[in-house]
């Protein structure tokens, strides 16, 4: 939403506060710009900020320093309620007693280890069989993903993270009772509603591209170089014109000094897979209707399932890739065989620690062309529809999540 719309509504409604939510880091920059605009107009209304991408430090250092009005940083909806009740009483104390940020900042930072030269960093094993994919370029998954996606839903995450039933303070038996008598029946009921209303319109696009690593970069090569047997693999030194895209990743500043590109070969063509999945736009449209009708709980429950379905689609795409690359031996040979802990390789999404640059999603959009299926990348690199996600998949058996 544009800041001018916020200001228009604020004036029309004589609002006592303005709230902004930021899911992605890029949207926190927009928040900052919005605060600057409010400040330049002399507005000092209390601001409530929230969303997964915000941190205490960001609010302290980049928001409170540019805006003179009170800024409440709300970690969850409950703090939002607390903030509003304070504002109603004329109490503008924005401290929720969570962290002593300034004291935290004063703590001496851990000393950095000196980064070794690239040639001295120990690389993942090169003694692996680099797979040959069944095709090169992109494809849309044609299987009946509607039903398969439900097999891949992580119900623990759905119930606790998305729906907020954490079971805090409950005994094991009470938790089980809640799951059996409340959560599962609710889930089954909503599943039927989703099917009846045709809300779930899954799209799974994935593709394979030749690639090579070059220190902290992954060079994506023209799909025409794709090999179908080991003897066809290109081992010649690369020429500039062979490279279609370059992805630069950060390297850990402590042992083992890992970087995502390390999982790919540098002296021969390797294979990188990309995915882009979406649960479709019907969910958001229906959520808007529920919201407008004041059915907030229904909205919350449907939204929870919709985001977990998006996560499930990412799992389905990843499973198809493991099947195609012949690295799913330990997990069953059908798309619906869920074996969360038996993966070979790893799936990373841009915006997460090992590949934090959200703008790298542009490469995936360029290669997989999801716009043809109504999936678009916005200015702040947010994907629309909301319940969509992209990823890069590494097949290397040592590939795993790591922080920088």
* Helical residues (DSSP H) of 97-137, grouped into ranges: 101-106
Q: Identify which of residues 31 and 325 has a Cβ nearer to ligand B12 in the complex.
A: 31
d(CA 107, CA 148): 49
CB of 58 to ligand B12, least distance (A): 11
CB of 109 to ligand B12, least distance (A): 21
Nearest to 210 by CA among 306, 324, 130: 130
CB of 240 to ligand B12, least distance (A): 28
Q: Identify which of residues 71 and 233 has a Cβ nearer to ligand B12 in the complex.
A: 71
d(CA 266, CA 121): 14
Q: Identify which of residues 29 and 244 has a Cβ nearer to ligand B12 in the complex.
A: 29
CB of 379 to ligand B12, least distance (A): 12
Q: Identify which of residues 77 and 99 has a Cβ nearer to ligand B12 in the complex.
A: 77
CB of 250 to ligand B12, least distance (A): 13
Q: Identify which of residues 157 and 238 has a Cβ nearer to ligand B12 in the complex.
A: 157
Please state at what angle helix 296-324 crosses helix 282-292, rounded to 10 degrees: 170
Contacts with ligand B12, residue ranges (CB under 6 A): 19, 21, 23-25, 48, 50-53, 74, 76-77, 80, 161, 307, 310-311, 349-352, 358, 361, 382-383, 386-390
CB of 235 to ligand B12, least distance (A): 32
d(CA 62, CA 29): 9
Q: Identify which of residues 383 and 399 has a Cβ nearer to ligand B12 in the complex.
A: 383
What's the DSSP call for residue 352?
B
CB of 53 to ligand B12, least distance (A): 4
CB of 338 to ligand B12, least distance (A): 17
d(CA 23, CA 52): 5
Q: Identify which of residues 141 and 307 has a Cβ nearer to ligand B12 in the complex.
A: 307
Burial 288-313 (b: 16+ CB within 10 A, else e): eebeeeeeeebbbbbbbbbbbbbbbb
d(CA 381, CA 44): 30
Taking a C-beta distance cutoff of 8 angstroms, is the pair 324, 133 a contact?
Answer: yes
Q: Identify which of residues 216 and 349 has a Cβ nearer to ligand B12 in the complex.
A: 349
Under 8 Å CB-to-CB from 220, ≥6 apart: which residues? 209, 210, 211, 243, 244, 245, 246, 247, 272, 363, 367
d(CA 17, CA 86): 11
* Paired strand residues for 221: 243
Taking a C-beta distance cutoff of 8 angstroms, is the pair 220, 247 a contact?
Answer: yes
């Amino acid at each position: 939403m544009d800041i001018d719309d916020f200001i228009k509504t604020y004036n029309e409604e004589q609002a006592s506060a303005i709230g902004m939510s930021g899911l992605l880091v890029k949207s926190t920059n927009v928040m900052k710009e919005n605060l600057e605009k409010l400040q330049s107009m002399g507005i000092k209304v209390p601001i409530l900020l929230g969303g997964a991408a915000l941190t205490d430090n960001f609010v302290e250092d980049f928001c409170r320093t540019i805006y003179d009005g009170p800024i409440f940083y709300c970690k969850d909806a409950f703090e939002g309620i607390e903030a509003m009740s304070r504002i109603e009483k004329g109490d503008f104390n924005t401290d929720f007693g969570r962290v002593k940020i300034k004291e935290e900042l004063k703590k001496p930072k851990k000393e950095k280890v000196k980064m070794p030269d690239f040639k001295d960093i120990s690389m993942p094993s090169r003694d692996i069989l680099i797979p040959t994919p069944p095709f090169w370029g992109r494809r849309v998954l044609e299987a009946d993903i509607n039903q398969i996606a439900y097999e891949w839903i992580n119900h623990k995450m759905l119930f606790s993270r998305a729906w907020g039933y954490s079971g805090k303070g409950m005994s094991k038996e009470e938790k089980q009772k809640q799951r059996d008598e409340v959560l599962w029946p609710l889930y089954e009921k909503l599943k039927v509603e989703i099917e009846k209303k045709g809300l779930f319109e899954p799209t799974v696009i994935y593709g394979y591209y030749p690639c090579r690593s070059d220190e902290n970069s992954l060079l994506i090569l023209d799909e025409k170089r794709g090999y179908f047997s080991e003897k066809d693999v290109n081992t010649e030194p690369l020429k500039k014109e062979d490279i279609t895209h370059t992805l630069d990743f950060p390297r850990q500043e402590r042992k083992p000094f890992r970087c995502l590109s390390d999982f790919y070969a540098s002296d021969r063509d390797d294979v990188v897979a990309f995915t882009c999945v979406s649960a479709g736009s019907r969910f958001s449209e229906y959520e808007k209707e529920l919201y407008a009708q004041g059915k907030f709980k229904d909205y919350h429950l449907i939204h929870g399932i919709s985001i977990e379905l998006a996560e499930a689609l990412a799992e389905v795409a990843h499973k198809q890739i493991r099947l195609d690359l012949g690295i799913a031996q330990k997990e069953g040979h059908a798309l619906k065989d869920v074996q969360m802990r038996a993966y070979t390789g790893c799936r990373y999404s841009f915006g997460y620690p090992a590949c934090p640059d959200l703008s790298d999603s542009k490469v995936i959009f360029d290669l997989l062309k999801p716009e043809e299926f109504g999936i678009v990348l916005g200015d702040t690199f947010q994907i629309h529809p909301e319940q969509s996600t992209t990823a890069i998949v590494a097949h290397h058996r040592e590939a795993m999540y790591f922080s920088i």
